[in-house]
Amino acid sequence: MDKLRVIADQTRFNLLKLLINNDLCVGALATRLGISKAAASQHLQVLRKAGFVRGEKRGYWTHYSVNNEAIRSLASQLVAMIDNEPPRGLTCIKALPIENDKQERKVIKMCCNDCCQQPEKIKGTPEECTPEQIRECHGDTEKHPCAEEKKEEQK
């Protein structure tokens, strides 16, 4: 599971906040969050699989604590995304690099069918777009994937 999805859940995020300064058992966490022990245990299992928390057996109970390095690593990845961000501007999503995900490829292929950036500037359907409209919406028409597709379709 994606690490951001793991902490996007409000209960898991609240568990992390409690565990940052305290080592607590499932019962104490459940009581503080007003959830059942079973629910707390399931959320802790997800957090543990993602590497965000560790469990340490202390007698009969397991006490959980935050894995600070995992939190720092995720934070560093987010900061790196911002630091490596290209200048903002109008860029067609088709021109951006994609992963090998089939669903993402399908979405990107359909993207300009909805004129992804500025739909209010498009008159009619994307197929009816003039080069000026494409330029205004996406910038350079010579390097624009939609313009290239139109050229191929016209051949």
Q: Encode pLDDT of 97-155 as tens digits.
A: 666 566 555 555 555 554 555 555 555 565 666 777 666 665 555 555 555 555 566 65
Kindly state whether residues 59 and 104 are assigned to the same domain: no
C-beta separation of 65 from 23 below 8 A: yes
Distances (CA, A) of 142 to 50, 59, 95: 44, 69, 12
C-beta separation of 112 from 94 below 8 A: yes
> What CA–CA distance (Å, rounded) separates 78 from 4?
10
| The pair of three-digit structure tokens given for residue 105, joined into one six-digit string | 């490829």
Residue 7 is assigned to a structural domain of this protein: yes
Regarding predicted confidence, which is higher, 53 or 91? 53
C-beta separation of 121 from 138 below 8 A: no
Structural domain range at position 52: 3-71
Residue 85 is assigned to a structural domain of this protein: no
Kindly state whether residues 7 and 64 are assigned to the same domain: yes
Residue 12 is assigned to a structural domain of this protein: yes
Kindly state whether residues 65 and 101 are assigned to the same domain: no
Kindly state whether residues 13 and 65 are assigned to the same domain: yes
| Contacts (Cβ under 8 Å, ≥6 apart) of 32 | 18, 24
Residue 82 is assigned to a structural domain of this protein: no
Residue 81 is assigned to a structural domain of this protein: no
**pTM, to two decimals:** 0.58
Q: CATH code at 48?
A: 1.10.10.10
What pLDDT sits at residue 76?
A: 92
Residue 117 is assigned to a structural domain of this protein: yes
